[in-house]
Structure 1
Amino acid sequence: MKLSLKPRLARARIITGPVIGTAAAGLAAGLAAISLVAASAQAAPAAGNAPVAHATASAKPVIVLEHGAWADASSWDRVIARLAVAGYTVYAPPNPLRGLPSDSAYLHDFLTKNPALAGRKIVLVGHSCGGAVITNAAVGDPAVKALVYVDAFIPAKGQTVDGLLGKVPGSCIGGNPASTFLPVPYPGAPKGAADLYLQPQLFPDCFASGVSAAQLAATQRPLSSAAVTQPSGTPAWAKVPSWAVVGTGDKVIPPAELLAMANRAHAHVAKVKAGHLSLISAPDAVARVIIQATTASS
């Protein structure tokens, strides 16, 4: 089964070097409105202006972060802050969490039709089910030079998130769906599908592993149940160099399965003493791996 959070205004966090900008914007080709949060250690840009790139940032690959289920782009905040200090331009677009094909198409359009990314090398990072999304979204995009999987699914062609959860015993969400999820119908859902909210009592030990569980449970964005049963396509990791952060205390995706998927993708593996949300509990370690990937792809 999969991760998700409750639909709110679609947000994408964008940081350019040490400058962090906030402004509502719409991307061409029907991309959802983006909010940018702006702040500068020196002078903040005028309202409505795009963030000004730091002189060294344009020479570095752009980093695009894809969140997982039961979360939104803010789950990357601590990692984003560290990457910004290192001078990277960072985008964290919303993951619709409606289904693997549509979520992947949404991210692919963000990567290929966003004028801000034109001509830039990209390092694409996915957390949890966001890993399945980047696996498909990067296919056919020569700008993507590296993939980074953070406690994430790394599916092969034809595999589903649900199927990967069952390959190795031990997942805290791999048992009886009735005791794991709260299903809620939504308009236009595929036949038999519903939005899946994680049962609040599972958040502290299973999903959050001690990371502000009450707030995460209250603000979770649901994942469509269709997303966990839709098969993955040809994987981008077959041609794109990959890195994997493996939380040794992950209770959502057993570490043995994380390692098996990473090894199959020939990923560079970094083990971190963290649960499923290492991007929140171990942001320094996660940022280091992302920077390693950007350095190798430069």
Structure 2
Amino acid sequence: MKLRFRRRLVSVGVAIGALTLTGVGIGTAQASTTHVTQSRPAAAKPTVVLVHGAWADGSSWDKVTAKLQHDGYRVVVPPNLLSGVAKDAASLRAYLDTISGPIVLVGHSYGGMVITNAALGDEQVKALVYVDAYIPDQHDTVFSLTSAVPGSVFGGDTSAVFDQVAIPAEPGNVNLYVKPSVFGTAFAGKSIPAKDVAVLAARQRPLAFSALIEESGEPAWKTIPSWSVIGKQDAVIPAAEQVVMSERAKAHSIQINAPHLSMVTDPGAVTNQIEAAAKATN
């Protein structure tokens, strides 16, 4: 049974089992017989829930989704509202409540804030996987983690990085869009062709400014095993900070030579880490 959603939620996970067949054949000059032990039912593979980050949508997971589906996993990519940590975590938690069976919960970038809060106390979430993601402790914010070490392109003057659009229902709050001139450097480095970067920038979904300064709640990674993928070329969350966060969460980590959008540039490595989490938590 699921535990009641808390105001400060946190993150995800799951596991798989193997079908075991044992056959014993006995052959003699007389009539031979074969005895086969009854097989145990195979444990169901977990549902993999992929949560996108800010300035993106679910299509950023397309390559990883295809690979996981090919390997027999059920995959869902619910929309991240990008409205604030608590609201987004509550929305995700409501979605998780509709899923039967074990879950591996995966978050990219800001999605790491969301899964960390959404999974708190959720017994179906067997593993959390962070892909170039924030892995917050209680009271951490996107802003505090981004600026913890030098190197993020988002660490300077926000007016030079973001275009702002008012949110009519929330006076004083604004939606932030990454300026096209900054988008490629931040997310793709030199690993994605300019024409593809232009498409990504054009269809970006904004993040509410309030989400940058909203504190995270009690982290689910304290009770749920965690894995992480660290892009060594990440220009949004410096790799050095990702290492610190991963070590704090005792996450099983890999480092790859990839930019912030590692699931786009290196979907094989990202998929392998997700599947490692699924198998390890069986």
TM-score after normalising by structure 2: 0.83
* Distance in 1 between residues matched to 2:163 and 2:185, nearest whole Å: 18
Sort the Cα spacing of 1:162 and 1:57 in 2 relative to 1 into closer, same or farther, 3 A. Answer: farther
- 1:201 is matched with which residue? 181
Note if 1:289 corresponds to 2:257. Answer: no
List structure 1 segments (4+ residues) > 3 angstroms apart after TM superposition.
none
> 2:50, 2:95 → 1: CA distance?
12
> Which of 1 and 2 has higher RCO (CA within 8 Å, sep 6+)?
2
Structure 2 counterpart of 1:224:
208
1:87 to 62, 72, 80: 72
How does 1:22-33 map onto structure 2 within 5 Å? none
Gaps of 5+ in 1: 1-55
Taking a change above 3 Å as real, the CA distance of residues 128 and 57 of structure 1, as seen in their structure-2 partners, is: farther
Q: Which residue of 2 aligns with 1:151?
A: 132
In structure 2, C-alpha distance between the alignment counterparts of 1:76 and 1:183, rounded to whole Å: 26
1:243 and 2:227 equivalent? Answer: yes
Of all paired residues, the percent bearing the same amino acid is 50
SS at the partner of 2:153? coil
Q: Distance in 2 between matches of 1:131 and 1:58?
A: 28
Q: 1:164 aligns with which of 145, 150, 153?
A: 145
**Offset at residue 293 of structure 1 (A):** 0.3
Contact (CA 8 Å) 1:243, 1:269: kept in 2 or not? yes
Residue 277 (str. 1) matches residue 261 (str. 2)? yes
Using the alignment, how far apart are the partners of 1:250 and 1:201 within structure 2?
Answer: 17
Which of 78, 85, 97 matches 1:100? 85
The one of 237, 246, 258 equivalent to 1:262 is 246
Counterpart of 1:111 in structure 2: which amino acid? L
Counterparts of 2:215 and 2:108, CA distance in 1: 18
Once the 2 structures are TM-superposed, how far is the Cα of residue 226 of structure 1 from its aligned partner? 0.6
Partner Cα distance (1:61, 1:284) in 2: 19
Output the CA distance in 2 between the equivalents of 1:183 and 1:208: 22
- TM-score (ref. length: structure 1): 0.78
- Deviation by residue 1:26-80 (Cα, 9 ceiling, x = unmatched): xxxxxxxxxxxxxxxxxxxxxxxxxxxxxx9971011000000010011100000
Aligned length: 238
The 1-side partners of 2:42 and 2:240 are apart by 37
* Structure 2 match to 1:131: 112
Letter in 1 for 2:92: L
Q: Which residue of 2 aligns with 1:8?
A: none
SS for the counterpart of 1:59 is coil
Secondary structure of the structure 2 residue equivalent to 1:65 = strand
Whole-angstrom CA distance in 1 between matches of 2:45 and 2:216: 30
CA–CA distance in structure 2, aligned partners of residues 204 and 182 of structure 1: 15
Question: Take 1:192 and 1:73, find their aligned partners in 2: how far apart are those partners?
Answer: 28
Do the aligned residues in 2 keep the contact of 1:203 with 1:217 (CA within 8 Å)? yes
Unaligned residue ranges in structure 2 (runs of 5+): 1-40
Pairwise CA RMSD of aligned residues? 1.3
Post-superposition CA distance 1:136-170 (Å, at most 9, x none): 00001100000000000000001100111111000
* Structure number with larger C-alpha Rg: 2
